[in-house]
A and B are shown apart, each in its own frame.
Chain A
Amino acid sequence: MVPEGLYYTKEHEWTKVAGDTATIGITDHAQEQLGEITFADLPAVGDKLSAGTEFASVESSKAASDVYSPIAGEVVEVNSALDAKPELINDDCYGQGWICKARITDKSGLDKLMDAKKYEDYLKGL
């Protein structure tokens, strides 16, 4: 399941860009690999994000996985529903399981991300 219209990273994050705002989450492949997610360590509003750098982590009973930012920006909103219901990432990783929203400060990095087609090919090669 790889939705069209999003950007993807090799570390299995997605971002949806609308104007200057990027919504960020982890992909279906990532949540599937982790299994039942029981904890999400979320960023704070105001945190600076740089592309390719960790800004959050999600944990299942078997694994802890850092989440890397696909973009450079500043966190403007955090999905605090994940504090009590981290399993939303398993249930709806592209919807209710989003991690944060950020104001993009540099759009040039978007070119380096994959589109749905490229990400799907990338997954096939794993």
Chain B
Amino acid sequence: MEDYTLAGNDSIGKFIFEQSVAEPAPSALYDQHLQLAGKSHIVDFAGYLMPLWFTSISAEHEAVRQNAGLFDCTHMGILEISGPDAANFLNTVATNDIDNLEEGKAQYSYILDTAGNVLDDIIIYQLERQRYMVIVNAANEPKIKAWFDSLLKGKAVIDTEQPARKLGANPIIRDMRNTKSGGECSVDIALQGPKSLEIITGLLGDKSVLNKIEQLKSFHFIRAKVADVDCIVSRTGYTGAKIGYEFFVHPDKAGRLWEALLDAGKESGLLPCGLGVRDSLRIEAGLPLYGHELAGPFNISPFEAGYGWAVKLEKDFFIGKTAMKQNSETHNMQVVRIELPGEKGIRPVRQNDGILDKDSKCIGYVLSCAKAGEKQIALAYIRKNYTEENTPVGIYYPARNKKQLENGKKKSVETGDLLRADIEGKIISRFARF
């Protein structure tokens, strides 16, 4: 753990972490990407060189909704937590209840600092008794490693109300993407969209496995050989697709599995998908992205994001519980999904654009926005009393350059400002599945 500066947590329990900036590394599938995407579309994302798109964002979006898409998620951090204290540790550092898990089941959860700030949103997979796999966001991986490290070394106060409280758990934490870490190694590849199952079918040697994969419920997984590669097949994803899988595969076999899946999906309209469509799909589905709909400039909480169910306040204790309990009772802002016109020629709505109520008063801000067909779907952070479905809202575009500023556009907006709407839309259901 040389790649970060550990600053510990300060008196109010906020974990302060400064990540050092390193040269980007090629993703585990970089060679495959160079063959499929123009080099000019490959960008540095969370320290990895990954394609923004292969074909085009709109073609890839359409492919995932109609057929299927294949995603390089090998940049996602994967930590193994094991040993007799593993469950106890996870129940202390994560907000959801680990006791609801069993072997073959996965769970969405949050890691908070002692002050209740979201450090990351994660998925925990129970691999076996006393062994768990935790998927963390690529951009947050160094921070989470540092946080766990400071917890295990007893450097962080974990309860502001009882500063003497000790972690009392000493699990083994291992980076599963590191092939030299000893033990099972994994990286993540995702296949998402209605034709996902038919694409896998041809790659399974064993018919009984197909049956098991067909039967897999959301947030469940099995072990299987796909294209002769040992992997974990999990019914999870980040696209809002009702049918979609993630494969956890040894890093050295990732290229082989990627190529086999792409090949098997040719007839089904499968497209390789870049970072751009990953964003537009998750926005359309209403799924949060850390730094936008969680934490970020507004320090958005799980309750505000619409995920209060993943914060089990009835647990005796978890790090950040006091602050979460208070937030669950007092928060007055909420993340909503908004539908807007999006035909060509309509200016794209962007982060920090203002949301206006029917009286032209600014009631919040756009967090993310994407084009989905002829519409734009925005996720926005607004006052709670405006979140009912079908509530009409306006959008104000602040100036994006000097010329617009000279033409009278404001540089930024504040809630309470009276503004004239540039386009109009309405609140729609918080989530959508496809």
Contact = CB atoms under 8 A, between A and B. Distances in A.
Nearest to A53: B402
Interface residues of A, number: 22
Interface string A15-58: 00000000000000100110110110100000000000011010
B403 A85 contact: no
Interface stretch (A1-9, A61-69, A100-108): A61-69
Interface string B33-55: 00000101000000000001100
B401 interface: yes
B370 A83 contact: no
B400 A83 contact: no
Contacts of B401: 54, 57, 64, 66
A84 B402 CA distance: 24
Interface stretch (B210-218, B250-258, B306-314, B342-350): B342-350
Per DSSP, chain B at the interface is: loop
Contact of A38 (B38, B276, B344): B344
A70 to B, nearest CB: 17
Nearest to A29: B40
Interface string B114-143: 000000000000000000000000000000
B242 to A, nearest CB: 24
A59 interface: yes
Contacts of A86: 344-345
A74 interface: no
B407 to A, nearest CB: 10
B58 interface: yes
Contacts of B280: 61
Contacts of A87: 344
Contact of B345 (A61, A66, A83): A83
A74 to B, nearest CB: 16
A54 B401 CA distance: 8
9 contacts: A35-B52, A35-B53, A41-B403, A54-B401, A61-B276, A62-B57, A64-B400, A66-B401, A85-B344
Interface of A: 29, 32-33, 35-36, 38-39, 41, 54-55, 57, 59-62, 64, 66, 83-87
Interface of B: 38, 40, 52-53, 56-58, 276, 280, 342, 344-348, 350, 370-371, 400-404
